[in-house]
Amino acid sequence: DTGVSQNPRHKITKRGQNVTFRCDPISEHNRLYWYRQTLGQGPEFLTYFQNEAQLEKSRLLSDRFSAERPKGSFSTLEIQRTEQGDSAMYLCASSSGDRGNEQFFGPGTRLTVL
């Protein structure tokens, strides 16, 4: 069990550019979650997958955000036409649905939009 991994760990981009982040969940975990965290705040839920199906989305996930989990394993989160307000830590978590559905988090991707 290598834990949840996320790439890249840091991303600096200019306003208006598109960025894509990747999350690899713990193997055999069928549930995958994306959260966003800004300085001094707790993480906020963005979206949730069970296997390849996207089952829940937050209103925070504007039209510029899209997430996929094509084969029910890794997931990608893409932000189009980035804005300075998108600067945040993007966290991925996974769970098996067992043991009360405990969620395990990755190290996060820190996005800075200049």
Nearest approach in angstroms of CB 108 to another protein is 5
- Strands (DSSP E) along 25-74, which ranges? 31-37, 44-50, 53-57, 65-68
Alpha carbon separation from 12 to 3, 60, 74, 79, 88 (Å, rounded): 25, 21, 22, 13, 11
- Verify cis geometry, omega within 30 degrees of 0, for the bond prior to 8: yes
Which of residues 55 and 114 has its CB atom nearest to another protein in the complex? 55
Which of residues 44 and 68 has its CB atom nearest to another protein in the complex? 44
Nearest approach in angstroms of CB 76 to another protein is 18
Which of residues 34 and 82 has its CB atom nearest to another protein in the complex? 34
Q: Which residues bind another protein (CB under 8 A)?
A: 4, 6, 31, 33, 35, 40-45, 48, 50, 55-56, 58, 91, 93, 99-108, 110
